[in-house]
Amino acid sequence: MKIGAYIQVPFCQTKCTYCNFHTGVVSRERYGPYADAVCREIAEAKARELGGDRAAEIDTVYFGGGTPSLLEPAALRKILDALRGGFGFARGGEPEITLEADPETITGEKAAAWLAAGFNRVSLGVQSFSDRELKAAGRMHRRADIFTAADTLRAAGFRNISMDLIAGLAHQTRVSWEESVGRLAEVRPEHVSIYMLEIDEGSHLGKESLAGGSRYSAGAIPSDDAIADAYEWSRVALRAAGYEHYEISNWGLPGFRSRHNLKYWRREPYLGFGAGAHSFDGVKRWANLHDSARYAANIEQGISTREQEQVVRREEALEEELFLGLRQLEGVDLARIENLYGVDLTARVTELCEQGLVELHGAQLKLAPDRLSVSNGVLVELLS
Ligand code: SF4
């Protein structure tokens, strides 16, 4: 069996204003012991997970966060070695091994060490090419760092770079957004993710939106309509630049779709390691506890780090098939799903087709292209 591996590194240099992730700013001294705990979790997992499936091999690895590039390259390598030793990497095709990195954390030395350790893809949290927006969002890097980071990675030998942008940052205008997408297309990463800002109550922005204030520029967030327009504009611009739109938030040059993330949308198995990491073995889902100090202490003492474990019931699996599968622009095979789950979705699908929310091409069900920016609402309709 081919599986994905996700490594969560929940540390950051600062807290971005829009962030709702379980990440923290901690002393650098905690990085090394945390990496050791992840290695130990991996070593102990092999026997336990996937029913002890000895044939399980890893074909994608994704280090996410947080800011995994804050860990020393030697610590990152140790974790990769633990995966290689514990599970083995799939033969017959190079595994895709991604490291998320913030542009300002990249040096030529680090990039060379990452490549030597086995990483072959770097995902850069670019977010914007406007210094004003980056500053207001609490990011540590500036526009110039993005160009330097891309040049450094290319010079080191990386041939697969992804860049994220956020539509809807404070102070963003249509002009600044077009500038960001335009500059990104010029840098020409192989893969692009565009997220529409959602303000979570737990973030600095969310709290300021509720309580008032100006410290985080909540009042300068563009309207929902402006954000949706920015997203639509990027769809056209990226297509013109040669990118294939394959998932609501993701584009790739031909041959450069994210193999790891495709596993999530296709409900393929993956194991997550580290504080807060999620796993799915095809039957059940589980997650590690979020607190990184408790996580490391539990691993040290041989205590389980699992916070939740849940067998996915049949009706939940059906919802996942639709909710996750329809995020892909190619859609889902409705006949396959109906057969697999013994359901007839004809009436519901016909109704939604008439409302223009989804389209049926043969047996292939897709979200309507002009509803991608409001996909969550459409998916909720479909499942209701
Ligand atoms: S770098 Fe990412 S994870 Fe860290 S605070 Fe910013 S948005 Fe959150």
pLDDT tens-place string over residues 13-48: 999 999 988 888 999 999 999 999 999 999 988 656
Its pTM stands at 0.95
Residue 284: other Cβ atoms inside 10 A: 11
Whether pLDDT at 267 is above 60: yes
Q: State how far the Cα of 337 lies from the Cα of 344, in Å rounded to an integer.
A: 9
Q: Binning pLDDT at 50, 70 and 90, where does residue 336 land?
A: very high
Q: Are 306 and 38 in contact (CB under 8 A)?
A: no
Q: What is the residue extent of each domain of the chain?
A: 2-265, 314-383
- Given this structure, which CATH class describes domain 314-383? mainly alpha
Quick one: pLDDT at residue 47?
A: 56
276 touches ligand 1 (CB under 6 Å): no
Helices (H) and strands (E) in the chain, counts: 14, 15
Say how many Å lie between the first and final Cα of the chain, rounded.
34
What is the token pair recorded at 67?
Answer: 């800011």
Name the residue at shortest CA distance from atom 7 of ligand 1. Answer: 19
Q: State how far the Cα of 286 lies from the Cα of 278, in Å rounded to an integer.
A: 6
Across 350-367, average pLDDT: 92
Q: Binning pLDDT at 50, 70 and 90, where does residue 379 land?
A: confident
Q: State how far the Cα of 311 lies from the Cα of 313, in Å rounded to an integer.
A: 6
Q: State how far the Cα of 160 lies from the Cα of 95, in Å rounded to an integer.
A: 13
Q: State how far the Cα of 326 lies from the Cα of 365, in Å rounded to an integer.
A: 8
DSSP, res 21 = S
23 touches ligand 1 (CB under 6 Å): yes
Q: Are 158 and 152 in contact (CB under 8 A)?
A: no
Give backbone dihedrals phi and psi of 195, rounded to 5 degrees, phi first: -110, 140
- Cα–ligand 1 centroid distance for 99 (angstroms): 14
7 touches ligand 1 (CB under 6 Å): no
- Cα–ligand 1 centroid distance for 124 (angstroms): 12
65 touches ligand 1 (CB under 6 Å): yes
- Cα–ligand 1 centroid distance for 384 (angstroms): 33
- Cα–ligand 1 centroid distance for 351 (angstroms): 40
* 3-state secondary structure at position 63: strand
Closest CA to 49 of 266, 273, 263: 273
357 touches ligand 1 (CB under 6 Å): no
What is the token pair recorded at 104?
Answer: 């300002």
Give backbone dihedrals phi and psi of 16, rounded to 5 degrees, phi first: -65, 150
19 touches ligand 1 (CB under 6 Å): yes
Ligand 1 atom nearest to CA at 102: 1
* 39-42: long-range contacts, CB 8 A cutoff, minimum separation 24: 39/78, 39/79, 39/82, 40/299, 40/300, 41/273, 41/274, 41/299, 41/305, 42/79, 42/82, 42/83, 42/86, 42/87, 42/273
Quick one: pLDDT at residue 171?
A: 97
- Give the percent of the chain with pLDDT over 70: 98
Q: State how far the Cα of 111 lies from the Cα of 153, in Å rounded to an integer.
A: 6
Residue range 218-255, pLDDT digits in tens:
999 999 999 999 999 999 999 999 999 999 999 999 99
Q: State how far the Cα of 192 lies from the Cα of 150, in Å rounded to an integer.
A: 13
Residue range 35-88, pLDDT digits in tens:
999 999 999 886 566 555 567 899 999 999 999 999 999 999 999 999 999 889
12 touches ligand 1 (CB under 6 Å): yes
- Cα–ligand 1 centroid distance for 88 (angstroms): 30
Quick one: pLDDT at residue 380?
A: 81
- Cα–ligand 1 centroid distance for 19 (angstroms): 6
Ligand 1 atom nearest to CA at 66: 3
Of 336 and 45, which is predicted with more confidence? 336
Counting every residue written for the chain, the total comes to 384
- Cα–ligand 1 centroid distance for 66 (angstroms): 5
Give backbone dihedrals phi and psi of 209, rounded to 5 degrees, phi first: -60, -35
Name the residue at shortest CA distance from atom 2 of ligand 1. Answer: 66
Q: Are 68 and 101 in contact (CB under 8 A)?
A: yes
* DSSP H or E stretch at residue 376: helix 375-383
Name the residue at shortest CA distance from atom 8 of ligand 1. Answer: 19
Domain 2-265 belongs in CATH node 3.20.20.70: yes
Q: State how far the Cα of 203 lies from the Cα of 169, in Å rounded to an integer.
A: 13
Quick one: pLDDT at residue 48?
A: 61
Closest CA to 221 of 243, 237, 197, 245: 197
Q: Residue written as tokens 């029913």?
A: 51
DSSP, res 49 = G
- Cα–ligand 1 centroid distance for 2 (angstroms): 30
Q: Are 294 and 358 in contact (CB under 8 A)?
A: no
- Cα–ligand 1 centroid distance for 335 (angstroms): 40
- Cα–ligand 1 centroid distance for 373 (angstroms): 23
Ligand 1 atom nearest to CA at 12: 4
39 touches ligand 1 (CB under 6 Å): no
What is the token pair recorded at 263?
Answer: 């596993």
21 touches ligand 1 (CB under 6 Å): yes
